[in-house]
Amino acid sequence: MEPIELPRDLPIIERRAVRVVVRDAADRLLLFHTRDPDHPRLGTWWELPGGGMDVGETYRDTAVRELREETGIEITPDQVGAATWRRRASFLHRQLRHHQDEVIVAVRLDRPGPDVDETHRLDYEREDYFGFRWWPLPEVVASPARFYPGRLPDLILPFLAGEAIDEPFELWS
């Protein structure tokens, strides 16, 4: 396989990140409707909550912190599933090109999905995320919408069934 040539369009940030598949008692997934104000040509898309790992954090710590910051949902590290979906991706965000190693983990709530509480969001998240929705699983699988990760509709059912996923590199934007 030919190596992928990465764009050199913006300063690059390398980081490790965690994305969280939050599933409620009704088998719905939480996704944010988002955009990047610096790159309007990218349009809008739906993405999993999550973000970069801070120094010294485990992936479980990051999942707990990111969910609290982005959604107001309080969980404990023991509610975070194993990091069985691994991927590397590159995308534009604001004035940086992110190259990141990601793990995707599952969190199962024992109640219907709550409304999102934006109290602890960072300023840019308040601008980028303009909506959220608890999506029924079959709708995610069948949707023609754009998602991050891009293969979410194809990989969500195998992931939730416990399959280990080592996804190839994704040049998302």
Tens-digit pLDDT profile for residues 111-133: 999 888 777 766 666 667 778 99
- For 147-162, what is the mean pLDDT? 96
Print burial letters for 135-157: b (CB count within 10 Å at least 16), e (below 16).
beeeebeeeeeebbbbebbebbe
Residue 92: CB atoms within 10 A of its CB come to: 18
CA atoms 169, 36, 113, 15: torsion sign:
positive
pLDDT, position 127: 65
pLDDT, position 102: 95
d(CA 164, CA 162): 6
CA distances from 127 to 22, 26, 36, 65, 88 (A): 22, 29, 8, 19, 25
- pLDDT above 90 coverage of the chain, percent: 64
pTM: 0.87
d(CA 6, CA 151): 19
What is the tens place of the pLDDT at every residue in 50-108? 999 999 999 999 999 999 999 999 999 999 999 999 999 877 777 777 788 999 999 99
Does 1 have pLDDT greater than 70? no
